Each structure stands twice: as structure tokens, then as C-alpha cells.
Amino acid sequence: MEKERHIRIFDTTLRDGEQSPGVALSLDQKLEIAQALAQLNVDIIEAGFPVSGPMEFEAVRRIATEVKGPIIAALARTHTLDIDQAAKALEKAEKPRIHVFTSASKVHLQYMLRKTEEEVLEMADRMVRYARRYVDDVEFSAQDVMRADWEFVKRLYEVAIEAGATTINIPDTTGYGTPQEYGALIRRIRDEVVRGRDVIISTHTHDDLGMATANALAGVENGAGQIECTINGIGERAGNCALEEVVMALYVRRDWYKAYTRINTREIYRVSRLVERYTGMPVPPNKAIVGDNAFAHESGIHQDGVIKHRATYEIMDAELIGRRPAVLVLGKHSGRAAFKKALEDLGYKDLSEEEVKKLFARFKEIAEKKGPLSAEELQALVESEREPTSHFFQLEHVQFFSGSGLLPTATVKVKTPDGERVATHTGDGPVDAVYKAIQEAIGLRPELELYRVEAITGSTEALGQVTVRLRLGELQAVGVGVSPDIIEASALAFLDAAGKLASGRATRHPPSIEEVHRGV
């Protein structure tokens, strides 16, 4: 039986991740993220590039001093100044690592380094040895390996290992490789360069073609023992391999990869949201593992399966990464079974099948207009549709025109006991115009005593709930309307109250003090 291997997680959120366009973390934010990464139990934190400036140096120094547990790595080019600064920043680290890098592809050598292959080989040898004077743990990387000449790559990594590198990192810097190519390269390095020596092979993959995670996992299949990645996959251009994706892939498919990490998976979601907040880079809803929709189900077929058994459409538990249990998103694709379960979860367990049927029809109508409904919105919908709502008058259609310099005008079509009625009216505003049109259509002119609008949730797409109180002589009635359109909700509320007045289901208006004194 194949022995399972421990795959080290090298997190470079604070170095490569911070290179994302528009991201600039403060010292305190970097320190907080580093502490969160330590709680996540990553093996290595690449804290930054000390030679790049005083603030970067101080961030690495503070992290090295205050964060305990993981190896703390600092990046350095093949220059003595870079290595000196990295070593100085790491002085108080429990487990320091200097990460030395150069380039491997011809285009990098010609246009970036402006050096020959022999010059690069000589610098790599000398600078890895120089870094080993400071620390026992030295990682060596050569940028753009996927587009480099194999013979040069082989010589370069041989030199680094002979000079004392303990980890050799194989960066697909431009996201150019495919899983087949990258996996084959890792295997070749394992077989022809490492050759059984006590050296860890590391992957560093970018997502320019959307294959960063697949490439990293191909590297694991072919002998890599470390994955370089970032929280939420942030990084230059299209970003890096996402930590949450490779970690959970190795967790869920441990049977396939025969490998594991020591990540505390229940911290994943919390760290993801922390990085999202501090970097200002929103996590897409469909992002694997940490996106809002990653454990959400709206399709009726999927919801039906999850209700019967979660494993029908879920390969991992949301709680495993620190999220709430999977949710059924009630939207236009939802089925009646999921809708009924959501009602039961809200406490509506005594509804008849006929009530559920009517509520479901109204829910579908609203979901088509506004999208998914929250629990609060669903609750408001139920309360507004249940008795004592009047169906004496039914709104068939409402349309209004309003705007700067325009006379507010509304047209309504109302179903009454005597048939459909259509009326058009102007008003001081769209609601006033709608109410005057409704009064004309139903032949009643009650007095509006109360008009109240509430947003059921805080978003701009929230359902609106309108409550009105109408008075007609000695009778009064309260009506409620719920809709994503406030004008429609206003019309529904007015017709609800007016229907109670017209059908004899209104209450007597309490007499005023003056009326009592007059003996009414």
C-alpha cells in the first residue's frame, strides 16, 4: 500500500498575494493576517520581500518576532544586500527561511537579468551558499521554468542543491503550463535532479489559464512535497493557486492523492473573509470552497436531493471549513419541496397543502422579479399572504410614469366582484397617482390614515413591505402588501385594506374624544 505523504503548505498571501493590483496592506493588517495563518496551521508563511523598502522590512521583522508556529520565510534575489536584509529581518524568528530566487527562461535572462546562463549559474551557487551562512533552511526558485530550456533548468537546480538549498521551488510564473506538462516537469526534476536526496520539491503555479490548482495537484501526484499558494487565490494578474482549493482537494480526495496537509480546515472561511476585507478583493460568489454559492442550492432538483441526503450534491460539509451548514437558496429555480422545508424551518409547520400551494405561487412570482429571497423576506411573504388578507379586490396590473419635470400618472387594472376595471389618474407622486386610480377602479374613496414602508432586509434588492390603514365612515381596515417593487407593494396594501372595507371584514373605527363627549 502506498504511503501517504505530508504536503507542506507555503502561504505567500503576504508577499505574492499583496502584489495584486490595488492591494496595499498596512503593517497591522499584515500582522493580523499572519496570526490568522498561524491559527490555520500553515507550514510556512512568506512574510515579504525585506529589501524592497523599510515598511516591508518592518513587516517581516514584526511577523518573524511575534508569530509563532510556522516557518517564517523572507524573499531575496541573488544579491548579497537582499540576503543580508532578509537575514536581519528574520533574526528573531523561531524557524527562519531565506527564499532565494533568480530566473530560468531565455526571455527572462535576456531582458530582465541581462546575464548569460553561466553567470546565472555562478550567482545561484554563490548566493545559496551565502544564505546558508545565516540559516539552515534555504529555498531556491527559478522564475518561468515552464518556458525554459530543460538542460539549463537541470543544471541550475543541481547547482542550488549542491550549494545547500533544502527546498527547490518550480515556478510556472506566467501560468503557461498544463497539468500534464507541469506534472511531467516535476517528475523529471524528482527523478533526474533530486534523485532521492533530502530535498523538498515545491510547486508555485499561477492562474493565467485557470489551471493553477490543477497544476499544483499534478505536481503533488508527481513528487512535489510543498505547495505555494495564497488565500482566495489572490496574486499578480489572474492570481495564484488558491490555498483553500488545494487543501480541500487533498482532504476530500485523499484516496486519490495519497497525501495530506496539517491545515486546520475549520479556520479556512474565517481567514478567507479576513483577507477579503483587508485587501478589498471580493470573493466571487461562485468561488470554490469560500464563495457565497459554494454550499448553496437553488435548483429544485438539487434542493430535493439535499433535503433527502446532503451527500447527494455535496462532497464535503460546510462546517468543515468553518462555514454554516449548507443553505437552500430560495429563488426562481427552487422546487416546492425546498420551499416547504424552508417554511417549516421558519416555524410554519401547520400550513395546509392549499396554503403552501398559494404561498409557493406568490413566492415564484416575486422570485422571478427580484431573485432569491432571504429568510426574513420569506417570513414577511408568509405573513402578508396568510389571513386576514383580503382577496376581495385583486391587482392585475399597475403601471406608472414619474420623474423630474413629469406629471406622475398611474394606470391600474383591478379584478373586482363585478369584473375587471381599468383606471388612469394623476397625482402628487407615483403612490398618490396609483391610489387615486385604484379608488376610481373600485368605486370606493376611503381616507388614508396610515402609510408605512419598510425594507425587510438591508440590501437595495430587498423586498418592500407597505402597511396602510384606511377609514370609510365608521369602519377602518389595515392592509399589508409585500413586493420587490414599492409601488406594487403600495397598491397591494391599499387593495387589501379596501377589500376588507368592501366585504364587511373591517372593524368599527373607535370614536374620538369629541365624539364621546357628544354622546356618540
Q: Which of 168, 97, 177, 176 is nearest to 137 (CA)?
A: 97
pLDDT of residue 235: 95
200, pLDDT greater than 90 = yes
Residues 434 and 349 in one domain: no
Provide the pLDDT for residue 291: 84
462 lies in which domain range?
Answer: 394-508
As a whole number of angstroms, the distance between CA 375 and CA 363 comes to: 12
d(CA 469, CA 467): 7
- Say if residue 35's pLDDT is above 90: yes
Q: Are residues 219 and 266 in the same domain?
A: yes
Altogether, the residues listed in the chain come to a count of 520
Look at residue 13 and give its three-state secondary structure. Answer: coil
For residues 113 and 265, the model is more confident at 265
Residues 60 and 90 both lie in one domain: yes
Q: What separation in angstroms does the CA of 7 have from each of 140, 202, 489? A: 18, 9, 57
- The structural domain count of the chain equals 3
In this structure, the answer to whether residues 334 and 459 fall within a common structural domain is no
Amino acid of residue 316: M
> Which of 21-30, 157-166, 301-310, 338-347 is least confident?
301-310
Average pLDDT over residues 373-400: 70
Q: Do residue 61 and residue 203 come from a single domain?
A: yes
The share of the chain scoring above pLDDT 70, in percent, equals 83
SS (H, E, C) 315-332: CCCHHHHCCCCCEECECC
Do 103 and 34 belong together in one domain? yes
Would you call 259 helix, strand, or coil by DSSP? strand
**Same domain for 472 and 378?**
no
Please, what is the end-to-end C-alpha distance for the chain in angstroms? 95
What span, in angstroms and rounded, lies between the C-alpha atoms of 520 and 236? 80
pLDDT tens digits for 47-62?
999 999 999 999 999 9
Whether 334 and 227 map to the same domain: the answer is no
- Confidence (pLDDT) at 301: 45
CATH number for the domain harbouring residue 466: 3.30.160.270
**What is the DSSP secondary-structure string of 70-129?**
SEEEEEEESSHHHHHHHHHHTTT-SSEEEEEEEE-SHHHIIIII---HHHHHHHHHHHHH
Q: Which residue, 264, 279, 294, sits at the end of a domain?
A: 279
Cα–Cα distances in Å, from 111 out to 103, 116, 142, 149, 297? 11, 11, 15, 16, 50
Report CA 217 to chain centroid distance, whole Å: 23
Q: Name beta bridge partners: 309.
A: none
Burial grade of 520 (CB within 10 A; 0-12, 13-18, 19 or more): exposed
The H or E element containing residue 464 is strand 464-472
Q: How far is CA 150 from CA 155, 185, 224, 253, 279, in A?
A: 9, 9, 18, 32, 37
The tally of CA atoms less than 13 A away on the side-chain side of residue 168 is 30
Q: Which residues pair with 424 in a beta bridge?
A: 411
Q: Does residue 483 sit in the same domain as residue 347?
A: no
CA–CA dist 459, 456 (Å, integer) = 9
Concatenate the DSSP letters of all residues of 369-436 into one string.
HH--B-HHHHHHHHHHHSTT---SSEEEEEEEE--TTS--EEEEEEEETTEEEEEEEE-SSHHHHHHH
Segment 355-366 mean pLDDT: 79
Residue 336 has pLDDT above 70, yes or no: yes
Residue 295 falls inside a structural domain? no
> What residues pair up with 481 in beta bridges, in sequence order?
466
Are 187 and 106 within one domain? Answer: yes
Amino acid 148 reads A
User: Of 229, 131, 234, 115, which is closest to residue 172 (Cα–Cα)?
Assistant: 229
Q: 229 lies in a domain? A: yes
pLDDT in tens, 71-95: 999 999 999 999 999 999 999 999 9
Cell triple for residue 434? Answer: 396609483
Angle subtended by helix axes 212-221 and 243-252, to nearest 10: 50
> What is the SS3 string spanning 485-519?
CHHHHHHHHHHHHHHHHHCCCCEECCCCHHHHHCC
For residue 430, is the peptide bond before it cis, meaning its omega torsion is within 30 degrees of 0?
no
CATH code of 176's domain: 3.20.20.70
Of the three residues 386, 402, 421, the one that is the final residue of a domain is 386
Q: Is the pLDDT of residue 263 over 60?
A: yes
Binding residues: 16, 204, 206, 240
| Whether residue 423 sits in one domain with residue 346 | no
Pair (65, 175) in one structural domain: yes
> For residue range 117-150, what is the model confidence (pLDDT) as tens digits?
899 999 999 999 999 999 999 999 999 888 899 9
Cell 494578474 identifies what position?
237
Task: Give me the residues paired with residue 232 across strands.
Answer: none
**Binding-site residue set for Mn(2+):** 16, 204, 206, 240
Of the pLDDT bands very low, low, confident and very high (cuts 50, 70, 90), residue 196 is very high
Residue whose C-alpha cell is 520581500: 49
486-505 per-position pLDDT tens digit: 899 899 989 988 998 888 76
Residue predicted with more confidence, 174 or 354: 174
- For residue 250, what pLDDT band results from cuts at 50, 70 and 90? very high
pLDDT score at 298 = 41
